[in-house]
Amino acid sequence: MRMKTFLPVFWMAVSSVFAQQNFTAPQIPIDPDTKLITYREVVNQEGNKDILFERGMAWMRVYYPNPNSVANVMDKANGKIEGIGRLRVYYFDKDSNRRDGGIITYAIRLEFKDNRYRYTMNDFNVKAVSRFPIERWMNKKDPEYIPQDDSYLFQVDTIMQRLMKTLKEEMKPKVIKKDEW
């Protein structure tokens, strides 16, 4: 199933999970140096830098409905794709109606070398008038903390896990079946 058609179905399927009142925040990866939420991995994958770059671009076209609005750096010579991704989070009101919780922006970087690539997603912020890093949602002592922040973190983590899974699948070489009849 292509990602463009998958996302609405995905949200409908997990909506009941987000409706739970008592939510436990997932184990979000924190960079030890920056202390910011960071999803990063180096993946060994057969292929030269240019082939892996092309697969990365193909994944962008599958995963994002409008990849040109996400990627602002597409540098094949240096093996780099960079951009700003967006995702929407939701909450459920007391009547179990799904409500818009806001838009989260994040930096995405794909880097390619022969036989490996690295992805990094970080700099997660609520799109608002002023900068609001979502790491604040992890601080239960923050005066602005509310229990639904755990739900928002769960949603961000779920979407990032799906992003990483689809990226790894799309980066694998395509198997071409020969029509031997």
Domain that includes residue 125, residue range? 3-16+29-171
Task: Let me know: does 107 contact 84? Beta carbons within 8 Å.
Answer: yes
- Look at residues 115, 148, 178, 141 and name the one whose alpha carbon lies nearest to residue 23: 148
pLDDT for 19 = 43
The pLDDT of residue 16: 42
- The answer as to whether 179 is a domain residue is no
Is residue 106 one of the residues assigned to a domain? yes
| Span 27-76, pLDDT tens digits | 899 999 999 999 999 999 999 999 999 999 999 999 999 999 999 999 99
Q: Is 178 within a domain?
A: no
CATH number of the CATH domain containing 94: 3.30.530.80
Report the largest interatomic distance among the alpha carbons of the chain, rounded to a whole angstrom. 70
Q: How many domains does the chain have?
A: 1
Kindly report the pTM of this predicted structure.
0.82
In a domain, 104, yes or no: yes
Strand partners, 112: 117
In this structure, is residue 158 part of a structural domain? yes
Which pLDDT belongs to residue 22? Answer: 56
Q: Is residue 177 a part of any domain in this protein?
A: no
Q: How many residues does the chain have?
A: 181
Long-range contacts at 74-80 (CB < 8 A, ≥ 24 apart): 76/50, 79/49, 79/50, 79/52, 79/53, 79/111, 79/112, 79/113, 80/109, 80/110, 80/111, 80/112
Whether 166 maps to a domain, the answer reads yes
pLDDT at 25: 63
All residue ranges of the chain with pLDDT < 70 are 1-25
Give pLDDT, residue 129.
80
Within a domain: residue 22? Answer: no
Give me the residue label for tokens 């609005």: 69
